[in-house]
Amino acid sequence: ATPMSIMVGVGRGARAGVLIKNAEVLEMMKRVDTLVVDKTGTLTEGQPRLTACVPAGDIMEEQLLRLAAAVEQQSEHPLARSIVREAAQRQLDLPNCEQFNSVTGEGVAGRVDEHEVVIGKPALLNQRGIDVAPLADRAAELQQAGQTVMFAGIDGQLAGILAVSDPIKASTAEAVQTLHRLGLRIIMLTGDNERTARAVAENLGIDEVEAGVKPEHKHERVRALKAQGHAVAMAGDGINDAPALAAADVGIAMGTGADVAIESAGVTLVKGDLRGIVKAVLLSRAVVRNIR
Ligand code: ADP
Ligand code: MG
């Protein structure tokens, strides 16, 4: 493409909130046949709200929420913030948490009011000898509705589940449909569990889903697709997504996401609206067509 047509393309993108780093990015975008998308904060708003706090055994709901929030206060994760926010709304005062321990992509643990508290995936509780089976059915129901479920254990016993809902962005469905129509294959990658991931994907008409992906494995999936000969764009918002954004032919960051994701990307969607990807594809096709 001519430098002039590229400048025009980049300028048009910028006016529509699609920041394209340079000419190579725009030219590469034209060849992209596969789009890998992160779920949380990319397809969804990324601001989950607590929707259910279901105690198990003799613990009261408020005590479960209070102990969970005390631990999650130490975590930066959006799931953690939804728990702390709910506790604040109910005006619970949160005791200190000692010996805080965070396992990336798994959950958190700590000591609160003489209690050992753990919150996260079943595997994390299993490691501490806690069986989550008594709440498995309830959890499955919530997951089938697209909610993310965290299991809580206190002093070696199953204490309950906390569920959050993270609404899909209003603009996502239209973006996914149009990208499919433009011939792109879309693969959703997420650290969330299979059932929740499938529910969200089905809602959007995305038929390829890889759930339970460890943060450090996202970039490996991108590399594998490239090795199969695909031109791959990756869209994500989180610190965890940065290596995958850098590994992709075109990294697409949400302007609403982490700075390191934006730095690793060739395209930034200022408002995190995925219709910006459609815009970038159309611009790249128009610009490249100009020179022929
Ligand atoms: P995502 O890719 O959806 O942002 P992560 O890889 O960060 O997900 O986390 C995967 C899963 O690990 C979460 O769905 C949750 O079950 C668990 N998890 C992670 N961080 C926390 C936390 N602070 N508290 C409870 N559970 C957590
Ligand atoms: Mg994310």
- In this prediction the ipTM stands at 0.94
Q: Model-level pTM?
A: 0.89
Tell me, using a 6 A CB cutoff, whether residue 190 lines ligand 1: yes
Residues 281 and 192 in one domain: yes
Residues 126 and 200 in one domain: no
Name the band, by pLDDT with cuts 50, 70 and 90, for residue 289: low
Among 146, 165, 184, residue at a domain's last position: 165
Residue range(s) defining the domain that contains residue 82? 49-165
Of 162, 142, 145, 141, the C-alpha closest to 85 is 162
Closest protein CA for atom 13 of ligand 1? 192
Q: What are residue 267's DSSP bridge partners?
A: 20, 252
Residues 219 and 156 in one domain: no
Residues 175 and 281 in one domain: yes
Residues 161 and 199 in one domain: no
pLDDT at 150: 98
Q: Across the chain, which distance is largest between two alpha carbons, in Å? A: 73
Residues 120 and 149 in one domain: yes
Closest protein CA for atom 2 of ligand 1? 191
Tell me, using a 6 A CB cutoff, whether residue 48 lines ligand 1: no
Six token digits for residue 102: 């965070």
Residues 246 and 113 in one domain: no
> How many Cβ atoms from other residues are within 10 Å of residue 195's Cβ?
20
Among 123, 143, 165, residue at a domain's last position: 165
pLDDT at 254: 97
Residue ranges of alpha helices (H) inside 109-256 are 122-126, 136-144, 172-181, 194-204, 218-227, 242-247
Distance, in Å, from the CA atom of 193 to the CA atom of 212, rounded to the nearest integer, reads 5
* CATH number of the CATH domain containing 132: 3.40.1110.10
Residues 86 and 146 in one domain: yes
Tell me, using a 6 A CB cutoff, whether residue 143 lines ligand 1: no
> What's the CA-to-centroid distance between 192 and ligand 1, angstroms?
7
Pairing of strands 34-38, 232-236: parallel
Six token digits for residue 209: 């889903």
Among 97, 131, 165, residue at a domain's last position: 165
Residues 67 and 155 in one domain: yes
Residues 74 and 32 in one domain: no
Q: What is the tens place of the pLDDT at every residue in 136-178?
A: 999 999 999 999 999 999 999 999 999 999 999 999 999 999 9
User: Which of 53, 79, 83 to probe ligand 1 with, by most ligand atoms within 8 A of CB?
Assistant: 79
Q: For residue 119, which atom of ligand 1 is closest to its CA?
A: 25
> How many Cβ atoms from other residues are within 10 Å of residue 31's Cβ?
14
Residues 147 and 124 in one domain: yes
Q: What is the tens place of the pLDDT at every residue in 91-119?
A: 999 999 999 999 988 999 999 999 999 99
Pairing of strands 267-269, 250-254: parallel
Tell me, using a 6 A CB cutoff, whether residue 122 lines ligand 1: no
Distances from the Cα of 245 to the Cα of 25, 37, 239, 240, angstroms: 13, 10, 10, 10
CB 191 within 8 A of CB 212: yes
* CATH number of the CATH domain containing 249: 3.40.50.1000
Six token digits for residue 215: 């943060």
The environment of the single-atom ion ligand 2, i.e. residues with CB closer than 5 A, is 38, 40-41, 237-238
pLDDT at 48: 94
Name the band, by pLDDT with cuts 50, 70 and 90, for residue 215: confident
Helix axes 194-204, 172-181, angle to 10 degrees: 70
Provide the annotated active-site residues: 38
Residues 24 and 75 in one domain: no
> What's the CA-to-centroid distance between 178 and ligand 1, angstroms?
30
Six token digits for residue 43: 């397809």
**Tally of domains within the chain:** 2
Closest protein CA for atom 15 of ligand 1? 120
Closest protein CA for atom 21 of ligand 1? 107
Q: What percent of the chain has pLDDT over 70?
A: 98
